[in-house]
């Protein structure tokens, strides 16, 4: 159990020269997705079983940053009427740009300890999200992250087999590899990959041939080949020495950026005297025999606690966290 959580691992600090905490984001920035035009969506306010929340009574939010601006700032997006904002508990997110340039935002949501995927349309003119649909399914039991495949289809990771908190803990403690990846479309819903300890972040290669899945408790990233029937087959596994959370893919280079937890025990047993650390890895040429892994950023929790995502756009880096602040850096 301690091994899966990487307990007692320390990381040497790696600082970046041009970083600042993002104003207005105080209670998490769990996932970040950046459009080709530099607009970054940030999910905030996740309440997750066993993990600290700095604003337990406040609904979740989606923030937007325009990374083309000289000094970008975070703006909360308005959400259309009729959506249950009070129970909004956003987790992983993914964008899809349609042929007519319509931007769809998929948001994993945990209202009332359930798992749904909310589908929104982004309206740039008035910084708002129009809610289109709430997606629920028996196979979407404990959803962590999604990657959009079309305007109404996606792959999703279930990070646990069980959705009950006590059974989730037992599953994690016993190390049961019962977590999976599900493909969802209005016509078909099916399991497409299984056998993970805790499937977490998921993303797609720029050529759309490969799906990447982070297994947070197995400290690795799986490369899966995507087939015409949407099934996935295992290609290779990149083993790392940290708990890998969300995955972002640079659309130009294919590089993978990931926010990681050096010591997962600190994340679950939050001690103000021994804060959860942050770590950002850059993985280049993951399909080659010798992928290059670079530690771009590491902090002992004094600046940033519990990093969960890192995403780049034209020399600008955003680092998000499960429950804490968010960092904007110029590389």
**Residue numbers annotated as active site:** 91
Helices (H), the chain: 165-174, 264-268
Distance, CA of 169 to CA of 300 (rounded, Å): 26
With CA atoms as reference, report the closest residue to 63 among 112, 110, 22.
Answer: 22
Q: Please check if 93 is assigned to a binding site.
A: yes
Query: How do beta strands 19-21 and 220-226 pair?
Result: unpaired
Q: Please check if 246 is assigned to a binding site.
A: yes
**CB 194, CB 183: distance < 8 Å:** no
Q: Please check if 245 is assigned to a binding site.
A: yes
Q: Please check if 159 is assigned to a binding site.
A: no
With CA atoms as reference, report the closest residue to 105 among 113, 116, 117, 89.
Answer: 117
DSSP 165: H
Q: Could you tell me the sign of the dihedral formed by the alpha carbons of 227, 232, 238, 244, in that order?
A: positive
The string of DSSP codes covering 278-317 is: EEEEEEE-TTSSS-EEEEEEEE-SSS--SEEEEEEETTEE
Reported as type and span, the H/E element at residue 147 is: strand 143-148
Q: Please check if 89 is assigned to a binding site.
A: no
Residue 279, C-beta contacts closer than 8 angstroms, at least 6 positions apart: 11, 242, 259, 260, 261, 262, 295, 297, 298, 299, 307
Residues that constitute the known binding site for Ca(2+) = 30-31, 93, 144-145, 200, 245-246
Residues that constitute the known binding site = 30-31, 93, 144-145, 200, 245-246
């Amino acid at each position: 159990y301690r091994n899966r959580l990487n307990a007692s691992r320390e990381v040497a600090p790696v600082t970046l020269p041009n970083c600042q905490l993002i104003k207005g984001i105080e209670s998490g920035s769990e996932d970040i997705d950046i459009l080709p035009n530099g607009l970054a969506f940030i999910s905030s306010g996740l309440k997750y079983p066993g993990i600290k929340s700095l604003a337990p009574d406040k609904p979740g939010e989606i923030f937007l940053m325009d990374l083309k601006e000289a000094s970008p700032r975070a703006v909360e997006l308005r959400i259309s009427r009729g959506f249950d904002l009070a129970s909004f508990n956003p987790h992983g997110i993914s964008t899809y740009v349609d042929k007519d340039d319509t931007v769809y935002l998929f948001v994993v949501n945990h209202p009332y300890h359930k798992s749904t995927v909310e589908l929104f349309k982004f309206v740039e003119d008035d910084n708002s999200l129009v809610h289109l649909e709430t997606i629920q399914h028996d196979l979407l039991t404990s959803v962590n992250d999604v990657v959009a495949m079309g305007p109404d289809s996606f792959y999703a990771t279930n990070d646990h087999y069980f959705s009950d908190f006590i059974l989730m803990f037992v599953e994690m403690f016993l190390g049961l590899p019962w977590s999976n990846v599900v493909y969802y479309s209005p016509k078909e819903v099916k399991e497409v990959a299984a056998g993970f300890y805790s499937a977490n972040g998921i993303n797609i290669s720029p050529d759309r041939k490969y799906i990447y899945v982070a297994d947070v408790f197995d400290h690795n990233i799986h490369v899966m080949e995507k087939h015409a029937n949407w099934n996935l087959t295992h290609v290779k596994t990149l083993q790392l020495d940290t708990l890998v959370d969300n995955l972002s893919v640079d659309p130009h280079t294919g590089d993978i950026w990931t926010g990681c937890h050096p010591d997962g025990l600190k994340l679950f047993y939050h001690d103000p005297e021994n804060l959860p650390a942050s770590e950002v890895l850059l993985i280049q040429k993951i399909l080659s025999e010798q992928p290059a892994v670079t530690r771009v950023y590491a902090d002992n929790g004094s600046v940033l606690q519990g990093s969960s995502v890192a995403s780049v756009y034209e020399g600008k880096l955003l680092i998000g966290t499960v429950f804490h602040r968010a960092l904007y850096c110029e590389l």
